[in-house]
Structure 1
Amino acid sequence: MSKTHNGVYFVLWIISLVECKIPEVRVNCIFSEDCILPCSFTPNRADVNIQWYQQEALILRLQNAGERLRNGTVWLFHDHISEGNASLLVKHVDIRSKGRYKCVVNNATQTYVIATVEAPIRVISIDTTPSGLIQCSTKDVYPPPMVQWSTEPSLTSAALQPITRMGPNGKGLFYVETVLKQQNNSLEYIYVCNITSKYGTQSWTASLQLKEITDSEGQDLVIPCTAPKNFKFSTLVWTLTEANKTTEILKYDSWTHKTTSFRDHTKLDEENVVKGDGSLTLKKPVGSDHSGIYTCAFSGIKTRHLIQTHVNITYSRHGKDSTAYNLWMLAIVLGLLALLAVTLLIKRCKAKSKRSQENAQADEEMQRINTDKPTEEPQAESKLMTQPLGSSS
């Protein structure tokens, strides 16, 4: 029995050595697209028997009688079989398409294929949330990617403390949302979010810089927007967010050098934007119409850079409105001064009239006094003259 067992082990060892010599190919298939799993052989006979297995389960067999498919999702290049091409075409790849495949031609294994499935990152976004967090996100990716935050100037990961959430959707693909708190001196930093695919085939970067501007209405305002050094962008888009509603106000295409404006009173210097200066000019902004969050977004290959500026236009008066306002104010001041002068004049006249009346009364009284004195003295003298001489005793 021992010799028999040893013989069996020897045969299995030989088979394992043979299988080790069978080539193994790795293929990365893109989700929802077609994918080719290669298999070639040396044609040496008219009749060919081809079998394909996925995880040891037979999914396709081709014999002289014809072709047999499962679910219509895998195909052979029938016209090229005579040339030794037994490659498998997987139609509309999904998550179930991944795994280990085996190609067998005429009962001999030709190739092992390790198929991975990837839904690549196609878009990445970065923004601030209503609660003041910095949020970076992507969607419809597979497998779940890796996320990393950084800042310029650099801060430690302990200072950033990001929170990342991932979850599958109905198709088995994943969404990614990662957030972190703004720093106390947030206007001094550029926040950088990097999302890398699990297989390392892609790496997307989005960055955000925050700014604030306060200015008076009625005069032109320039909102700065400068691309990072050596940043090659394809488009520049300006948006305005008011009351949680975001609208596109201007777009520039670097390939056509064409600017499209969706709102009046906005201007972009096309000569400067070619050099990376996409600053926006607001012509005589009005507080109620032009205050809000202005965002300029440079988009390049797998890269986005945003500058988000909180613009506050304060109430002011300039131009014709200012002239009319100043004339009204001048008229009011002159009216008040005239009223004050008239009031003082009336008071002065009344005071003068009162003094004149008092003086007249005083003069009349003095005159009456002076008139009364001469009549009293002669009467006294006449009494003395008419008094009898004897009466003195």
Structure 2
Amino acid sequence: MTSVQMSRCAPIGSLTLELTRLSGYEEMKCTTRNVYPAPHVVWATDPPNSEVLRPITRKLADRRGLYTVESRLRRMKARAELIYICKVTSAYGTQTRTASLTERELSGLGGRDLTIPCHAPPYLHNPSLSWSFSSGNEPTLILTYDSLSQHSFASPPWRGRALLDMLGVSAGDGSLQLLNADHVKHTGVYTCVYSAQHNTHTEHTEVLISAAGERLHPWEPSHWWIIALVIALLVVALVGMLVYLKIKGSHSKPRKCPEEATELQSVKDKTEGSNLTETNPLAVENTR
């Protein structure tokens, strides 16, 4: 059996944080490699979550005695745009690396401007910024911002189309302004990465650009049928009310009482009798 003795520490060189779906559900995976001794891993969220975080962390050493540490945390679907923070600290507490990640969805309309948000967390000091875009292929660079020179550089296909607010980005607001969005070319995933010494922050935004005249959310049902149904019910109610008033009016006409009808019948009989007497004088003579 071979024993390995490390005469000195192997520091934490890099730390990655990504969203994976290989296990059948969404997980945040935090990884660091070639570290000795094995570091400690701590998870947090921003804003803080009331639920107890239960990550699964594995620490494996290779033949050289260097550790690969992988920690997984199941994504909480109940919280939208939650920031997941993975902090790795060396065994002696002399070194710390932090990575954070969040994801969101955003809709826009073709031919209009769209602002894609991205904000630096408070634990990053004077970070640099990079934006990239992917529509199913390899990510392409949109632009970069250097915090030391305070200058930005945009790749040729995005010049004049993607902009940063230079005053805002120096204050931690690196939101991307997309001008005259195209529903074919600009639908995809936009990624902004803030990077400072020992720390990174990543935001993925899935953007859906709808063509002009389409709904921003085509998966949502239209509400016009509700309006048509309300109008139809109002028409039916109005017709029913008119029919009811007409029937009620015909039944409410005043009828003659029995006494009046008897008197009218007596007057009518007398009148008919007198008419017969006047028109038949022979009948009167015969009765004499």
TM more than 0.5: yes
Equivalent pair of 2:4/2:64 in contact (CA under 8 Å): no
Equivalent pair of 1:233/1:298 in contact (CA under 8 Å): no
2:250 corresponding residue in structure 1: none
Superposed displacement of residue 226, structure 1: 1.5
User: Residue type of the partner of 1:147?
Assistant: V
Structure number, greater radius of gyration: 1
Q: For 1:161-176, what aligned pairs fall within 5 Å after superposition?
A: 161-169=54-62, 171-176=64-69
Please report the RMSD computed on the Cα atoms of aligned residues, expressed in angstroms. 2.4
Q: Percent identity?
A: 36
Counterparts of 2:57 and 2:188, CA distance in 1:
29
Counterparts of 1:118 and 1:157, CA distance in 2:
35
1:207 corresponding residue in structure 2: 100
Residue of 85, 91, 102 corresponding to 1:198? 91
1:218 corresponding residue in structure 2: 111
Superposed displacement of residue 156, structure 1: 5.6
Superposed displacement of residue 223, structure 1: 0.4
2:13 corresponding residue in structure 1: 122
Residue of 189, 198, 202 corresponding to 1:306? 202
Confirm or deny that 1:243 pairs with 2:139. no
TM-score, with normalisation over the residues of structure 2? 0.64
User: Residue type of the partner of 2:148?
Assistant: W
Counterparts of 2:173 and 2:150, CA distance in 1:
14
Which SS does the other structure have where 2:37 is aligned?
A: coil
Superposed displacement of residue 298, structure 1: 1.1
Which SS does the other structure have where 1:184 is aligned?
A: coil
Which SS does the other structure have where 2:185 is aligned?
A: helix
2:184 corresponding residue in structure 1: 288
Greater relative contact order: 1 or 2 (C-alpha under 8 angstroms, separation 6 or more)? 2
Which SS does the other structure have where 1:272 is aligned?
A: helix
User: Residue type of the partner of 1:142?
Assistant: Y
User: Residue type of the partner of 1:260?
Assistant: F
> 1:162-198: CA deviations, max 9, x gaps?
1223323464422222221211223252211111111
Confirm or deny that 1:269 pairs with 2:165. yes
Confirm or deny that 1:152 pairs with 2:46. yes
Unaligned runs of 5+ in 1: 1-94, 99-115, 319-393
2:150 corresponding residue in structure 1: 257
Counterparts of 1:215 and 1:203, CA distance in 2:
39
Superposed displacement of residue 209, structure 1: 2.2
Counterparts of 2:21 and 2:153, CA distance in 1:
29
Which SS does the other structure have where 1:233 is aligned?
A: coil
TM-score, with normalisation over the residues of structure 1? 0.48
2:234 corresponding residue in structure 1: none
Q: For 1:339-378, what aligned pairs fall within 5 Å after superposition?
A: none
The structure whose residues are more often helix, as a share, is 1
Unaligned runs of 5+ in 2: 215-288
Q: For 1:128-143, what aligned pairs fall within 5 Å after superposition?
A: 128-131=19-22, 132-143=26-37
Equivalent pair of 1:235/1:252 in contact (CA under 8 Å): yes
Residue-pair matches, total: 206
Superposed displacement of residue 317, structure 1: 5.8
Equivalent pair of 1:187/1:209 in contact (CA under 8 Å): no
> 1:242-268: CA deviations, max 9, x gaps?
326333321111001121212412111
Equivalent pair of 1:186/1:210 in contact (CA under 8 Å): no
